[in-house]
Each structure stands twice: as structure tokens, then as C-alpha cells.
């Protein structure tokens, strides 16, 4: 009986687990870095559109605000409603930004005499001022779309008594919070006298 010889081709033998191993995953680190940077930039832009920061440089708003304090400025509220009497606002002034309190609204008649402010013939109750006003101001009607602003430190403030009522378009926003230094942290107080003296 003749013997049969079987030749096995080298490539014909397959391992038990013949499935190909998956290719290694490429790192997503670069993509994640780019996405994080873009997200950070977008958040930064949104925050700066919505709020601002302002450093108190002068004494004109004492005793409410003091030199060296930082406030957060709300830039959104006045897109929804006009400024209210008593609001502390930051506004553009030639060469600098200033911070003062809104005293007279468009259409109001304002007068200063005897150390007091009169709005539409009524004395304005102002618990925030440092001392009685030494200056006087003849009665004048505030034009539409303009606001009469003054510092709380009335005898040491350059304000609408010097440069007139400010245009609404120059208002940057409302001072909302003192956030620095931490011991001085507080929300800006609001006052309810507006309705009593409205024209």
C-alpha cells in the first residue's frame, strides 16, 4: 500500500481567534483643548456683554461708595426698562466713565434750594447724601431722553449741575453690587420715592 503525502501550505493554517484587532483610537486631546478654548472665549464675551466692572476712583459718591471699591455693573436691565430715580449708574463722559445717582428723570422739573432737591415741586427725601447741598439750581425741566445725575457727596461732585443732564445713550449700566473688598460686599439699595414725585 502506498503512502500518500499531504502538503500543508503555510498560510492555510488560521489561528483560533482570526478576527482582526481594532485599530487603536487616536487621542482627542487637541480637539478637547480647542473646544474648551472656544467655550471659554464665548463665555467671556457673553459675560462682558451682560456685566461690567468699575473701580471707584473719586470721593463723589461717599458715603455710599468709597475710593478703591469695585462694583459690578448690570448692562442688561436698561434694555428692558429705563433707569429709575435713585439708581446708581455708570455712564460715558468725555475722557472717562463716571458713576453717579439718577435724581431727575425725563420730563421732571428739578430745582435745588435751601440745601434740598425739589422734583416737580416736592422735596426729595434723600437718606444717602453726606451733607446738605451748598449750591443752588434754578428750576429747569429735563429734556426727553435725558437724566439729571448727582453724586451723593453733593459738595464734592462734578455732575449734572456742571455738565447738564446726560443722554440716555451714554448710560453704560446700573451699579448692582459692591464686590471688592470682600468686607464691603453688598447689593446696591433701592428707594421707593419715585412714584411720589413723578410728573
The answer to whether 180 touches 192, Cβ cutoff 8 Å, is no
Which residue in 75, 100, 157, 160 is the catalytic one? 100
Is 60 a known active-site residue? yes
What is the number of other CB atoms lying within 10 angstroms of the CB of residue 25?
6
How many CA atoms lie less than 13 Å away from 145 in the CB half-sphere? 4
CA triple 74-109-113, angle to 5 deg: 100
How many CA atoms lie less than 13 Å away from 157 in the CB half-sphere? 27
C-alpha cell at 11: 498560510
Is 27 a known active-site residue? no
The catalytic site residues sit at: 60, 100
Amino acid at each position: 500500500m502506498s503512502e500518500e503525502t499531504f502538503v500543508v501550505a503555510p498560510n492555510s493554517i488560521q489561528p483560533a481567534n482570526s478576527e482582526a484587532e481594532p485599530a487603536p483610537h487616536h487621542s482627542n486631546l487637541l480637539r478637547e483643548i480647542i473646544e474648551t478654548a472656544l467655550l471659554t472665549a464665548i463665555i467671556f464675551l457673553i459675560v462682558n456683554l451682560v456685566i461690567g466692572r468699575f473701580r471707584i476712583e473719586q470721593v463723589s459718591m461717599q458715603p455710599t461708595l468709597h475710593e478703591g471699591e469695585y462694583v459690578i455693573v448690570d448692562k442688561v436691565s436698561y434694555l428692558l426698562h429705563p433707569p429709575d430715580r435713585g439708581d446708581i449708574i455708570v455712564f460715558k463722559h468725555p475722557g472717562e466713565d463716571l458713576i453717579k445717582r439718577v435724581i431727575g428723570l425725563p420730563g421732571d422739573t428739578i430745582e435745588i434750594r435751601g440745601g434740598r432737591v425739589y422734583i416737580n415741586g416736592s422735596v426729595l427725601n434723600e437718606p444717602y447724601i453726606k451733607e446738605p447741598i451748598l449750591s443752588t439750581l434754578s428750576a429747569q425741566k429735563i429734556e426727553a431722553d435725558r437724566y439729571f445725575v448727582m453724586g451723593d457727596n453733593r459738595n464734592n461732585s462734578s455732575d449734572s449741575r456742571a455738565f447738564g443732564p446726560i443722554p440716555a445713550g451714554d448710560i453704560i449700566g446700573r451699579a448692582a453690587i459692591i464686590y471688592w473688598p470682600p468686607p464691603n460686599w453688598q447689593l446696591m439699595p433701592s428707594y421707593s420715592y419715585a412714584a411720589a414725585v413723578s410728573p
